[in-house]
Amino acid sequence: MRCPVTQSPIGWKRNDSCSQRPVAAKVRTSDRESRLINEMENALVDLAQALRERLAVIRDEQSRRDEAKHIARLRTVSEKIDRLQATLPQPIDPRLAHYLQRKSYDKALELLEGQITVNTARR
């Protein structure tokens, strides 16, 4: 496709030496796409928080003294993780799906923290 005025291919811009170079186009997202992106990011942040809660319960030495209470806390946070996993907007990263399916929660958290850091840096 060519620009009707300059006859240059759209997406290309002449530089000072009159040769063409690619121009990065700013991607526009619709309101719906923005909502979906925010929904996914929020779901991932919630899941990461639940995974951190699980680690805190596991590391809580005092909680381990009362085994029944400790198991109940672990069960509660594990159910929360399962609920959050079930409500994640699709599609999700295949690695994350694999880690969650295999209950490799430490790896899932590491992956999520990397994604959340990258997404935050882009803003």
Q: What tens digit of pLDDT does each residue of 46-63 get?
A: 999 999 999 999 999 998
Handedness of CA 65, 68, 69, 75 (dihedral sign): positive
Q: How far is Cα 21 from Cα 40, in angstroms, rounded to an integer?
A: 35
SS3 label, residue 9 = strand
For 54-71, the DSSP string reads HHHHHH-HHHHHSHHHHH
pLDDT in tens, 5-49: 666 666 555 555 555 555 555 556 677 777 777 888 888 999 999
Q: pTM higher than 0.85 for the full model?
A: no
Long-range contacts of 58-67 (CB under 8 A, 24+ apart): none
What pLDDT shows up at residue 39?
82
CB atoms within 10 A of CB 69: 12
Alpha-carbon distance of 104 to 119, in angstroms, equals 23
Alpha carbon distance 71, 57 (integer Å): 9
Q: What is the pLDDT of residues 85-109, one digit of tens each?
A: 999 988 889 999 999 999 999 999 9
The pLDDT assigned to 27 comes to: 56
Radius of gyration of the chain (CA): 23
